[in-house]
Structure 1
Amino acid sequence: MDPRKCPVCSSSDSTLLMQFTPEQLCLNNPSYDLDILREAIKGQEQYLSYSKCNRCSMVFCEKYWDDENLNIVYSDIIMHEKSKEKIFSIDKRRMLLNTWTNILRLLKFQGKIKLDSIKLVDFGCGWGDFLEVVNGSGVEAMGFDQDQQKVNYAKARRHRIAHTPEKLIEFGPVDIFVMNSVIEHIQDVGEIFNLVNSVLTPGGIFVCSVMDYRERFLRKSAKRLKRGLPALTKNLNPVEHVNIYNYDSVLATLEKYGFHFLATRHVLYVTDTYGLKNNMKVIHWFNLIEKWLLKLFSGREFGIQVYALKH
Structure 2
Amino acid sequence: MKNVPRETYTENPSYEGFSGIKKLDLKDYFLTQEEFELFQDSDTGLLYTVPQPLDSLGKYYESENYISHTDSKKTIFERFYQIAKSINLNNKLNLINEVSKGKKMLDYGCGVGDYLEFMQKNGYDVLGMEPNEAARKIAQTKIGQLKVISTELKNINEKFDIITLWHVLEHIPNLNEIIGELKNHLTDNGVLIIAVPNHQSYDAKYYGKYWAAYDVPRHLWHFSDKSMSNLLSNFGMKIDKISPMKLDAFYVSLLSEKYKGNKFGYFNAIKVALKSNYLAKNNGQYSSLIYIIKAEN
| 1:17 alignment partner in structure 2 | 24
Q: Measure, in 2, the Cα distance between the counterparts of 1:309 and 1:262.
A: 6
Q: 1:99 aligns with which of 84, 92, 96?
A: 92
Pairing 1:158–2:143 present = yes
Using the TM superposition, give the Cα deviation of residue 156 of structure 1 relative to its aligned residue in structure 2, in angstroms: 1.5
Counterpart residue number, 1:235: 213
Question: For residue 156 of structure 2, what is the aligned residue in structure 1?
Answer: 169
1:272 corresponds to: none
Structure 2: which amino acid aligns with 1:5?
S
Letter in 2 for 1:92: K
- Which among 38, 46, 49 is matched to residue 58 of structure 1? 46
1:305 aligns with 290
Displacement after TM superposition at 1:150 (Å): 0.6
- Of Structure 1 and Structure 2, which has the larger fraction of its residues in strand? 2
Distance, in Å, in 1 between the alignment partners of 2:243 and 2:25 is 30
- Structure 2 letter corresponding to 1:121: L
1:198 to 162, 165, 184: 184
> Deviations along 1:155-214, whole A, 9 cap, x unmatched?
1113411220247623x1111100010111122211111220221112201101011112
1:189-245 deviations in whole A, cap 9, x for unaligned?
Answer: 1111122022111220110101111287666545xx5xxxxx1x2112212111111
The equivalent position to 1:5 in structure 2, one of 6, 10, 14, is 14
Q: What residue number does 2:256 align with?
A: none
Structure 2 CA distance, aligned partners of 1:16 and 1:192?
26
CA contact (8 A) 1:4 1:61 kept: no
Task: Return the alpha-carbon distance in structure 2 between the equivalents of residues 166 and 55 of structure 1.
Answer: 27
Q: What residue is the counterpart of 1:283 in the other structure?
A: none
CA–CA separation in structure 2 for the residues paired with 1:292 and 1:138: 33
Please state how far the C-alpha of 1:260 moved relative to its aligned partner. 3.0
For normalisation by structure 1, the TM-score amounts to 0.68
Could you tell me which amino acid in structure 2 is paired with residue 61 of structure 1?
A: T
Correspondent of 1:294 among 283, 287, 290: 283
Letter in 2 for 1:19: L
- Residue 11 of structure 1 and its aligned partner are, at CA, apart by 4.3
State how many pairs are aligned: 245
Corresponding residue for residue 248 of structure 1: 226
Q: Which residue is 1:276 aligned to? A: none
Conserved? CA contact 2:47–2:222, under 8 Å: yes
1:54 Cα deviation after fit: 4.3
4+ residue runs over 4 A deviation: 1-4, 80-83, 215-222
Q: Which moved more, 1:250-259 or 1:179-188?
A: 250-259
| Inter-partner Cα distance in structure 1 for 2:244 and 2:60 | 33
Aligned-partner SS, 1:13: strand
Q: Which secondary structure state, in structure 2, belongs to the residue aligned with residue 126 of structure 1?
A: coil
1:237/1:133 CA distance change after superposition, 3 Å? same
Secondary structure of the 1:71 match is helix
Q: Identify if the C-alpha distance between structure 1 residues 56 and 306 changes in structure 2 by more than 3 Å, giving closer, same or farther.
A: closer
Tell me the equivalent position of 1:210.
196
Deviations 1:117-163 (A, max 9, x none): x2100001001011011104752111011211110100111341122
RMSD over aligned Cα atoms:
3.2
Deviation at 1:309, TM superposition (A): 1.8
Contact conserved, 1:209 with 1:305, CA < 8 A, in 2? yes
Q: Larger C-alpha radius of gyration, 1 or 2?
A: 1
SS at match of 1:135: helix
- Matched residues in 2 for 1:70 and 1:103: separation? 32
Taking structure 1 as reference, are residues 169 and 247 closer, same or farther at Cα in structure 2, changes over 3 Å only? same
Amino acid at match of 1:66: L
Identity of aligned residues (%): 18
